[in-house]
Structure 1
Amino acid sequence: MLEYFIQQRDRTYEEMADAFLRLDEPAAISARHLGRLARGERGSAGATPATRRALQAMFGMPLDDLLRPWTPELAIAQPATDDGSLVLPSPGNERSLIRMAAERARRFTLLAAESTTPEAVEQLRDDVQRLALAYPQRPLTELLGDMVETQDTLFALLERRQTPQQARQLHFLTAVTSGLLAKASHDLADPHAAMLQARTAVLCADQADHNGLRAWLRGLQSMVAYWAGRYAEAVRFAEAGTNIAAGTAGTTSVWLPVSAARGYAALGNSAKALSAIRAAEEAWNRVEPDEVDELGGICTFNQPRTLYYAADALAWLPNEADQAVDFSTRAVNAFANPNDPAWAFGDQAGSHSDLAIARIAARDLEGAIEAVTPVLDLPPSQRINGIVHSVQRVHQAAILAGLAAEGRDLLQQIEDFTSTPLKALPR
């Protein structure tokens, strides 16, 4: 946040350091130290009271808030002028101020009490559910700050003494939130961080003693491994999760076998891939939503995602071209309505990419271009890791099919698209 506000003022660190002296002489700070604070290389522990006062007067925020990761919600705050006087919000900004006030009230409610209250746990569940519902439909840049903040709050609460029931609930919510951050790390093309978050989530799921949650996290680990090109590992995670889910009936019992299908297909094992797809379809007959499914969004697996995963598996198998066209077409249709609660921009893009691959296998280049064009129109903020890899598979399929010359324009568009993924955006 500090770096953001300095950039907004179009000032150098030297100029800002000089402004400190005009506010409070004891708050003198070197441009080098200020730059380290702004880049997150130094924490607040070593700051003097005078420096804290000067920073709050200059930017209208406590130092701890200024050193938090940038979020749109915090950026709405109006910084003070260099002489310490606060800038009044412009007319029409009232809703933003209300949201800021609500966030401050929320954090006070959660952390002010000596022990965790039932109201605080309920508030956190609402927060986690909101993030789970929003994740498939909104750009990660809009949600990441909230996810980090929620995980930090949950960690802080777990360090306190809790009743066994509250500890179980907090560990459950921490596991889900860490799972969301595992997905976020994966979307930013950082599989190492993704697996680290996933292992933390598994530890919390064990403390919550929830098999449905353990199985869901194995599904996440399988997904991370799949997109990292570790297909055998993706199968192992999916099958380990299937064993855990044997005594449960949540929608994860569908996700895990169809995840294994993708891994088997990428390894060229057509028989096991097709068997896993059939197992996933049959699992729908036994599904009964569990506590993880109740959160909704990314925490529940639905029929459109089943079609997409099956299409993604079949796209690897040359002898299953007709089925690949069928499943990918059905998946594209299932994700056609962005107002549908089951809609997810990442799964929609993957479905379109799989349809393009299936059409390339039939040497229908024009149809492939039609299928993948909506994906290539996505803004960089939605070019998550899985989408980038899906589009790269279209590129590879066109080359392997001998369509490089005929599809030169398509290949160039794909190369331009993949040159600016989400991970390349400034953060």
Structure 2
Amino acid sequence: MSPPQVAPLPVPGSAAQYQPPASGAQFTPLSTPEWESSLDIAKRLNATTSSNTDPATVSVLEQGVADLVARYETEGPHRLAPEAVDLRNFIQDRLEGQQPPRQREALFRLAAQASGLLGYMAVNAGREVVAEAYCKEAEELAKEIADRALIMWVQGTRSLNAYYAGHYDEAVQWAEAGLQIAPNHPQAIRLQSNGRARALGKLGDRPGAERAIAAAEELSSDHQVAVGLTSCISFEPYGMARTLANAATVHVALANAPQVLAYADQIDELVEQSDSAWSQALVRLDVATALLAGPRPDVEHAMVLGRQVLEAGGGPPIRSVVQRAGELYAGASRWQDLPAVREYDDALRSWQSAPQTRDLATSAKMACLTEQTRRAANAAHSRPGRISSHSSAQHN
């Protein structure tokens, strides 16, 4: 039995309509099908697969992102932000054209990374609202390509932003939002140590903070991360030294001086051998602040460490170093009659006189945080199980 006769598809836009043949009648098409030429097909294929971005350009842009990460700790946000903006805008110009799927996915990832870097820089520059806007953009772009690692990195940066704004509950929430994506992912190390642990320490939740540190250390072992000090802005998983530096900061907030000193001693050589002036400054400031806690404070030694940081410069000005240097003086202010404290105060005032440092030190938000710290210290005074008043004043 021969197959039934198949009518050709009507040409789009043609007035010809299919009319089923009468029973027993021979079918005659109402029009001849208009086949495309091989040239027409070739033109359409070329238009579909054409791109305004070749693989070599994608490689150059990837190197541009890597270069910003590599230079960040030596040049800082104020110097590199304009370059990052130029990179982000160039990537956007490419995205507004056409690319095959794989190149377009690469451009989405690069755009998300560039926005993420700008968000992180804005955190360090004390620009909270701008930081959140960049993070929101980075998150949405990363979601378009289902890049879980990058989404988790962005949530960690949001947690950092909330932390330095003094919104510790919010910092925990952003970190936990990232952990819900993949709790055993290498990016979870940062979310646990830099996100949950530090914010919980500020909230006085010792058991929660210690569990977060333990989780970060276990993940570091499971994923065999780098032993050394990774760049703070890197998209790679946290190295062990950076995780332990965060653990030291947690115990500063918990007024646990022996544990601060133990962690600092563990990473001292790695930090000193690194190119990170920020890490060197922050670890020394943590140790100095810890020396002011406990029943037998070592004020002289603490002030010496603080002056060493200021004399070395502390690297390009960023919020964390400026804020922590100020908190060290706040913690030592009850010994302000001691020459060492007065000398640190003089050095701090001189160091803060640089324009970018002064802007960070005198911002309205940081002034508000200082007042919140004093209120929290007064409220916590004499309560069992809470941080002592002078330690709270140092770290909140």
TM-score clears 0.5:
yes
Amino acid in the other structure paired with 1:155:
Q
Please say if residues 304 and 334 of structure 1, whose CA atoms lie closer than 8 Å, have aligned partners that are also in contact: yes
Q: Which runs of 5+ in 2 are unaligned?
A: 1-49, 360-396
Q: 1: CA distance between counterparts of 2:291 and 2:99?
A: 57
Aligned to 2:188: 253
Cα distance in 2, alignment partners of residues 141 and 234 from structure 1: 24
SS in 2 for 1:116: coil
SS at match of 2:335: coil
Deviation digits for residues 160-215 of structure 1 (CA, Å, limit 9, x no counterpart)? 12222112111111111111111111222111111111111111111121101111
* Superposition deviation, residue 370 in structure 1: 2.8
In structure 2, relative to structure 1, the CA distance for the partners of 1:309 and 1:295 (3 Å cut) is: closer
Q: Tell whether the 8 Å contact from 2:252 to 2:289 is kept in structure 1 after alignment.
A: yes
In structure 1, the partner of 2:133 is: 196
User: How many Å apart are 1:377 and its aligned residue?
Assistant: 2.2
Is 1:239 matched with 2:176?
A: yes
Compute the displacement of 1:371 (Å).
2.1
**What is the root-mean-square deviation in Å for CA atoms of aligned residues?**
2.5
Contact 1:359 1:365 survives alignment (8 Å):
yes
Q: Is residue 130 of structure 1 aligned with residue 67 of structure 2?
A: yes
Distance 1:313 1:213, change over 3 A: same
Match of 1:273 in 2: 209
| Pair 381,327 (structure 1): closer, same or farther in 2 beyond 3 Å | closer
Q: 1:372 corresponds to which residue?
A: 306
Match of 2:327 in 1: 393
CA distance in 2, matches of 1:225, 1:277: 19
Identity of aligned residues (%): 26
Partner letter of residue 134 of structure 1? R
Mapped to 1, the partners of 2:356 and 2:284 lie a distance apart of 19
Distance 1:208 1:239, change over 3 A: same
Alignment of 1:7-86 (within 5 A): none
Query: Equivalent residue for 2:165?
Result: 228
Paired residue type of 1:416: S
Q: Which one has a bigger Cα radius of gyration? A: 2
What amino acid is aligned across from residue 235 of structure 1 in structure 2?
V
Instruction: Determine which of 335, 353, 359 is the counterpart of 2:291.
Output: 359
1:348 alignment counterpart: 280
2:150–2:235 Cα contact (<8 Å) kept: no
Q: Give deviations 1:16-69, integer Å, cap 9, x for gaps.
A: xxxxxxxxxxxxxxxxxxxxxxxxxxxxxxxxxxxxxxxxxxxxxxxxxxxxxx
CA spacing shift, 1:302–1:166, aligned 2, 3 Å = same
Kindly indicate whether the alpha-carbon contact (under 8 Å) linking 1:219 and 1:238 is maintained by their aligned counterparts in 2.
yes
Letter of the 1:346 partner, please give it: W
Match of 1:303 in 2: 240
Contact 2:184/2:219 (<8 A) preserved = no
Query: Among residues 87, 90, 101, which one is paired with 1:150 in the alignment?
Result: 87
1:404 and 2:339 are equivalent in the alignment: no
Q: Is the 8 A contact 1:384 1:421 kept in 2?
A: no
Change (3 A) 1:296 1:229: closer
Using the TM superposition, give the Cα deviation of residue 423 of structure 1 relative to its aligned residue in structure 2, in angstroms.
5.8
Q: Is the 8 A contact 1:171 1:208 kept in 2?
A: yes
Partner of 1:417: 351
**Residue 150 of structure 1: CA displacement?**
0.5
* Cα deviation, residue 114, structure 1: 5.7
After TM superposition, the score normalised by the length of structure 1 is 0.66
Q: Aligned pair in 2 of structure 1 residues 142, 202: CA closer, same or farther (>3 Å)? A: same
Q: How many Å separate the matches in 2 of 1:296 and 1:188?
A: 14
Aligned to 1:336, which of 272, 287, 303?
272
Q: Runs of 5+ in structure 1 lacking a partner?
A: 1-112
Cα distance in 2 between the residues matched to 1:223 and 1:415: 27
**Bigger mean CA deviation after superposition, 113-122 or 195-204:** 113-122
The residue type paired with residue 128 of structure 1 is V
Aligned equivalents of 2:144, 2:156: Cα separation in 1: 19
Higher relative contact order (CA 8 A, sep 6+): 2
Name the CA distance, whole Å, in 1 between partners of 2:179 and 2:355.
33
Q: Which of the residues 161, 166, 177 maps onto 2:103?
A: 166
